[in-house]
Chains A and B, each alone.
Chain A
Amino acid sequence: MTTQTTTHAAGSTAHGHGEVDYIRENTSPLSWIVTLDHKRLGILYLVSTLTMFMVGGVYALLIRTELLTPGRTIMDPDTYNKVFTLHGAIMVFLFIIPSVPAALGNFFLPIMLGAKDVAFPRLNLMSFYVYVLGAIFALVSIFTNSIDTGWTFYTPYSQTTSTATISMTLAVFILGFSSILTGVNFMATVHKLRAPGLHWKRLPLFVWGIYATAVIQVLATPVLAITLLMLLMEKVLSIGWFDPRLGGDPVLFQHFFWFYSHPAVYIMILPGMAVVNEIIATFSRRKIFGYMFVAMSSVALALLGFLVWGHHMFVAGMSEYATMVFSALTFFVAIPSGVKVFNWVATLYNGSVSFQSPMLYALAFIVLFTIGGLTGLFLGTLSVDVHLHDTYFVVAHFHYVMVGGTVIGFIGGLHYWWPKMTGKMYSEKIARIAFVFIFIGFNMTFLTQFVLGSQGMPRRYYDYLDHFQPLHGFSSVGAYVLGVGFSIMLGMFIYSLFKGEKAPPNPWGSAGFEWATSSPPIMHNFHGTPVIHRGPYDYHLATEAELFDGFPEDLPATAKPAAAKPAAKQAPEPEPAKAAAPAPASREEEE
């Protein structure tokens, strides 16, 4: 039994049978703008991050179009510098970082914990508006002379460029605080708002992943904030901590920046992995193999992530001994990453695997993340890095992890939870078509770039030698295919909002906790407080009714709660006292 809702008499009159879902509870625009509900905030984040994804995507297509041919194709070099900077800054700070944690995490973390909301709902609303404020500052920067430093704001160039670094730095500073506040909120939620019976060994792996992410958000992001503040102070007051002319050290800026930005890579990838856990378990009908190892590997990645920042600076003039230590520590990252990949594959083995669209994305994640991870080892090797540093090899590696990993995981999660969030089913056929475009387009774009990089094509260059043209052209065509795939997907989702079939509570037949409530969930998530009696992947303990993928009224008579009793007896409940609670009450109500 997952979430037997032990609704008592008073509660059932209050949260009666006909309770409306969170979307229909109050439809006025004002109720959305000032909402404290984590689900609505999740949706607001989802809409904002997807918008930013489109903006960043347009910049990506502009970059690839310019690189179709050597020399000028559609823009001049200065514009090109601004376009690739904005692509990076928008995708990293406005899309990827908030995508899974703030959008899907906000929506599902409390539901998976059996809580009514996050720990601090008002803080949650505030983080959203801090995010909006940061986005406004970024827009101001774009419309006032833009920025051309690359998303890393390296000194001394960021000190001397005439573009709008100040407003962009402030934008990222503000966005950082949105991320920190979300992290604080989620950590407190996971610690203090778990439903009765939901101990740490029963936490869904999505929660583990978001928790590990939150640890990094709280401990790394403030370092970025102070770094950017120092950069601003340097620009305004010429203090001399980064400017060599005043006695400063530009490499110190790189240390500060990467002390945040390497852990930030785990802020981006851990949530993607977290989503993949849920999808793989559901579509393999199996408990994730080595559950505790997978959970702990997230925590291990979060902690190891703080010790490896120097691998971004092997050629920046650090001491040889420091580079050796950072290189060695970087290889340790392969251990928890490998633990995850091997355990996912082991989960598939002997699982009852089905290939609906979310699962296609999860499998693509495993393949693409593995390529991205292994090519990371090339870059972590000192001698090889000297050759590959600042080439397209780095670009390809980064995109295999961030797009092939995080974005694919995010989109997989979007497909997986779309019915729960919106109450609508999308067209599975079109979803698969879009997947094919995305998978092929992505590999065309970036597999090519590994080759380009290993042949010596430097990253960020506006122009290139003629003999790179075929590969650059192929990569650009791949980007268009990728763009078509994303457009089809977006159209499919929007269409489903208006014309999609109504979604049953548990369309995938999952044993996960979030599927026990209606689609879309009611305002308080559950009727009464759920009491948890098994883990989220314990398919052998779940009843037929819990795993039923249709509407409750269509439940076969044999699977009705009364008949479900023998199944419960077969698998003894771990907590007999609580199991004795009147489990079927809520289900009878729903009928």
Chain B
Amino acid sequence: MASAHDDSHKKWGSWLQHHFQEPVQQFETAKLGMWLFLAQEVLFFSGLFVAYGVYRTAYPEAFEAGSAQLNRIIGGFNTCVLLVSSFTAAMAVRSAQLGKKNQVSLNLVITIVCAFAFLVVKYFEYSEKFEHGLLPGNHFAPHMAEIHNWVEGATGPVTEMPAKTHVFFGIYFCLTGLHGIHVAIGIGVLIWILARNMRGEFSKDYWTPVDIVALYWHLVDLVWIYLFPLLYLI
């Protein structure tokens, strides 16, 4: 095993780092590292999800009223955008495995465009909330004329929102904001991978970074898959 070592490094490209014996070891290590990082990410978000659970139980009517102010159509559209981007990210990995450089680039570009689209939509959603005074905590000052009635069947104007609705908006902005930061970071690493692909750094033998970044992107997608129903639908 030891004797095969130095020769194998000559056989493979400069991408095989000196402390690995062979490509498969490097690939598996990178993948394990990414999975561990994703486990960390899940726990990072967990605090906010727990806060959501605790305060939804404590103030159900506030959450119902707050949730009704979010636009399900726009949220649903963004969900679709992210699902498409996850699909193209997976396709980029497949193309990389087959060594089809141009298809990798194309799929990455679509992923990046979707990510941007998500953020643009989010920007318009946020600014609408800001304009209507639907802000977290102390800053919460809803313009009652713009508030949607959340009571089943009722249509008339609303005069007052439930007492702790500001907590809902605090959680809404923190959860979607933290997720948005993850999307922005995702755009950064996707562009980095795209640039490396254009430089021809990947091949049938070496496509680990594409796979790793795609894994991260799927997590970003997955977090939204939970956020959307929790915040918009229920």
Contacts and interface: CB of A to CB of B under 8 A. Distances in A.
B3 interface: yes
A307 interface: no
Interface of A: 5-8, 10-11, 14, 115-121, 123, 180, 183-185, 187-188, 191-193, 196, 218-223, 225-227, 229-230, 233-234, 237-241, 246-249, 252, 256, 528-531
Contact of A247 (B21, B25, B30, B167): B167
Give the residue among A185, A191, A230, A237 with the most B Cβ atoms within 10 A.
Answer: A237
B33 A240 contact: no
| Size band of the interface chain B makes with A | 35 or more
Interface string B172-195: 011000100000000000000000
A249 B54 contact: yes
Given A7-B2, A11-B3, A221-B40, 16 more contacts: A11-B6, A14-B6, A119-B33, A184-B37, A185-B33, A192-B28, A193-B29, A225-B44, A227-B47, A229-B47, A230-B48, A241-B171, A246-B167, A528-B2, A529-B5, A530-B2
Interface in B35-70: 36-37, 39-41, 43-48, 50-51, 54-55, 58-59
Contacts of B32: 187-188, 191-192
A378 to B, nearest CB: 31
Given A193-B19, A223-B43, A529 B2 contact: yes
Nearest to B45: A226
Contacts of A529: 1-2, 5, 21
Contacts of A120: 29-30, 33
Chain A at the B interface: SS class = helix
Nearest to B170: A239
A154 B152 CA distance: 41
Interface string B83-106: 000000000000000000000000
A226 to B, nearest CB: 3
B47 A218 contact: no
Contact of A226 (B17, B44, B54): B44
A185 B32 CA distance: 10
A119 B164 contact: no
A248 B164 CA distance: 9
A187 B36 contact: yes
Interface in B1-38: 1-3, 5-7, 17-21, 25, 28-30, 32-33, 36-37
Given A192-B29, A193-B19, A222 B44 contact: yes
B48 A218 contact: no
B64 to A, nearest CB: 15
Contact of A233 (B2, B46, B170): B170
Contacts of A247: 55, 58-59, 163-164, 166-167
28 contacts: A6-B3, A8-B3, A11-B2, A116-B18, A119-B29, A121-B17, A180-B40, A183-B36, A184-B37, A218-B40, A219-B39, A219-B43, A221-B40, A223-B43, A223-B47, A226-B43, A226-B46, A229-B47, A229-B178, A230-B51, A233-B136, A238-B137, A239-B167, A246-B138, A246-B166, A247-B166, A249-B58, A531-B2
